[in-house]
Amino acid sequence: METLFQVLAVLQILIGLYMIAQGMQWRAYARRRLLTDPGFYAPRTAVLCPCKGMEPGLEQNLNALCEFNHQNYEVFFILAAESDPAIHVVKRVIGQSRVKAHLIIAGRPEACGEKVNNLRAAIEQLPGDFEVLVFADSDGRPAKAWLQHMVGPLADSKLGATTTIRWFLANRNNLATLLLAAWNAPVVTLLGEKTKNFCWGGGTAIRRSVFEQVHALDEWRGSISDDYSLTAALERANFPILFLPECLTVSFVETDFDGLLEFTNRQMIITRIYSQKMWATAFATHLFFCITILLGVYLTLGKLIATLPALPLASLTFLPLLLAAIRGALRLSTVSEILPAYRAQLMEQSWVYVVLGVFAPFLYVVNFVASLASRKIYWRGIRYELVSPQQTRILSS
């Protein structure tokens, strides 16, 4: 068993070193992007933001969508029903907005996710002179230059879409919220310069002509995942997706353990249905990391109890954890450069991303196992069954 552990540990150390090198490349790309001028491309742009229910900082988040330093855009807030408790906040934001902002009532979804239904309804009602569609989430708070940077690269007609990703800042100091922030952090480096990127629903821009060319509305029919389905449509048409780290979007989160498992399990179930290769690769990576650490702890404790030399085993157990912490620190350092307005909060919570993040793989394994056991998710008051990427069954609402 010691030999098996030693082999696993060496493999984890090599993987850890490789991932640090990848992290350095990601950092270099992010720094180059921060120096990139977004240019002067400013077509008529529609910012589409589905909303549902109240959440931390909702009004500030929605206000941020109305305060971009980008010309020639309008905002469309979309609710499924007039009875949604967020409607009062949405109307207040619309009334105070310096740009044109609209409210769209999409109606209840049928055989697709409510968010997808909201977006479909909004796009079908959108005037034909809007050239670019930008998708945003109500729980994100983008910076003033966000829209200009999201839209600018689309001046290149060969580009399929631009996208970014979220960064969670804990709104509370309870363990569940801190774990959620640590769990989400590694997702940032899944996207990059040369990697096969995917669209993130909380921050994606696409020319309307491309959106129609890839038949995205048809792809959304029966889907629960706006971003994975849009990614699939773009990939089939061989359109590249450009990742913009400079548009990293802050999201303030607070949750309890039920909410933590609901969110993280849901992400893995959706990933398993819509991107099996990514799911399988991530499952294997996290599972072998956790097995290696647990086996190392078990063998080290056995040596200590038997009063035998345990330092070599302890070192092999500790090194993968140290490398994971270094990756977390490197990631955090880069994000603090991208988000200078939040640097103080990031540094205050640095231990979450560096120390607590080392143990996030164990939560990931729980999520992967849960995604094997069920295709059912609960999302903002509605229970769904994900039959396939093209078929969603609404179980209750």
pLDDT for 162-192, tens place per residue? Answer: 999 999 999 999 999 999 999 999 999 999 9
Q: What element of type H or E holds 206?
A: strand 203-207
Residue 380 Ramachandran class (φ > 0 left, ψ -120 to 50 alpha, else beta): left
Task: Give the pLDDT confidence score for residue 188 in this predicted structure.
Answer: 96
Cα→Cα distances 308→294, 301, 302, Å = 19, 10, 8
Residue 397 has pLDDT above 80, yes or no: no
CA atoms within 13 A on the CB side of 190: 18
* pLDDT at 242 (0 to 100): 98
Name, in order, each residue with C-beta under 8 angstroms of 384's C-beta and a sequence gap of 6 or more: 113, 224, 376, 377, 378, 392, 393, 394, 395
Tell me the whole-structure pTM to 2 decimals.
Answer: 0.95
Q: What is the pLDDT of residues 130-148, one digit of tens each?
A: 999 999 999 999 999 999 9
pLDDT of residue 70: 87
pLDDT above 80 for 195: no
The single-letter code of the amino acid at 111 is A
Q: Where in the chain is the domain with CATH 3.90.550.10?
A: 32-254
The whole-angstrom separation of Cα 180 and Cα 20 is: 22
Q: What pLDDT sits at residue 56?
A: 86
Q: pLDDT for 212-268, tens place per residue?
A: 999 999 999 999 999 999 999 999 999 999 999 999 999 999 999 999 999 999 999
Instruction: Supply 223's token pair.
Output: 């889907």
Order of strands across the sheet with 382-388?
376-379, 382-388, 391-396
Report the distance separating Cα 62 and Cα 74, nearest Å.
Answer: 13
Fold designation for 32-254? Spore Coat Polysaccharide Biosynthesis Protein SpsA; Chain A (3.90.550)
Phi, psi of 205 (to 5 degrees): -125, 140
Looking at residue 396, its pLDDT comes to 87
Q: pLDDT tens digits for 82-128?
A: 999 999 999 999 999 999 999 999 999 999 999 999 999 999 999 99
Half-sphere exposure of 173 (CA within 13 A, CB side): 5
**pLDDT tens column, 20-78:** 999 999 999 999 999 999 999 999 999 999 999 998 899 999 999 999 998 899 999 99
Residue 1 has pLDDT above 90, yes or no: no
The answer to whether 360 touches 186, Cβ cutoff 8 Å, is yes
Average pLDDT of the residues in 343-351: 96
Q: Pairing relation of β-strands 132-136 and 203-207?
A: antiparallel
pLDDT mean across residues, the chain: 96
Cα distance between residue 260 and residue 176, in whole Å? 6
**What one-character-per-residue DSSP string does 215-278 give?**
THHHHHTT-S-HHHHHHHHHHHTT--EEE-GGG-EEEEE---HHHHHHHHHHHHHHHHHH-HHH
